[in-house]
Amino acid sequence: MALEALAATARPAPRQPILKEAEEARTLRFARTCYDHLAGTLSVRVATAPAKIQVIEPQGQRFSVTSRGEQWFHERGLDVSAARGQRRQFASRCLDWTERHHHIGGAIGAMLLGHFLRCGWIARRTGTRALRVTALGEHEIERFLRS
């Protein structure tokens, strides 16, 4: 009887809402940072679109920027020469753990993440590596990726 009385007055143990956890996992899977570059579903899209139009090409464990790609990046205000001159990998092929496809790492990957953030197309989420695409970014990222 004493246990029943205690149970009746005790507060239920706090628990994490399952929906909140599922939403956090979904946002992390869609767009996040991987060290200093973009990762997730969005990053695979950012790597796949330029590959389809022969801007970048996979070469072993890295990407190379084609001569067409040099011009493509230049038209978008991005300096491939400056990225190439950095003391780090130029354009690594980084395997995305949620998508099981490669995204762009290295100096080019960091350059793309920085550009998207500066343009206000994506924004960081507080307290996590997750990123969100802004209303502006929904339109501009697709435009950026077109040939």
**What's the average pLDDT block by block, 10 residues per block, for the chain (147 residues)?**
57 65 85 96 96 95 96 96 96 94 97 98 95 97 91
Helix/strand/coil for 143: helix
Q: Is residue 103 part of a domain?
A: yes
Q: Is residue 5 part of a domain?
A: no
Q: What is the pLDDT of residue 23?
A: 80
Q: What is the pLDDT of residue 14?
A: 60
Q: What is the pLDDT of residue 9?
A: 63
Q: What is the pLDDT of residue 111?
A: 98
Cβ neighbors of 34 (< 8 A, separation 6 or more) are: 43, 94, 96, 103, 105, 129
Q: Is residue 15 part of a domain?
A: no
Q: What is the pLDDT of residue 24?
A: 82
- Cα Rg of the chain (Å, integer): 21
Give the count of domains, the chain.
Answer: 1
DSSP string, 60-125: TTEEEE-HHHHHHHHHTT--HHHHHTSSS-SSBEEEPTTTSSEEE-HHHHHHHHHHHHHTTSEEEP
Q: Is residue 27 part of a domain?
A: no
What are the structure tokens assigned to 26, written together? Answer: 């979904």
Q: Is residue 20 part of a domain?
A: no
Q: What is the pLDDT of residue 132?
A: 96
d(C-alpha 140, C-alpha 3), whole Å: 61
**Whole-prediction pTM value?**
0.84
Q: Find the domain containing 99 and state its range.
A: 38-145
Q: What is the pLDDT of residue 27?
A: 87
**Inter-residue contact 64 to 80 (CB < 8 Å):** no
**Inter-residue contact 51 to 58 (CB < 8 Å):** yes
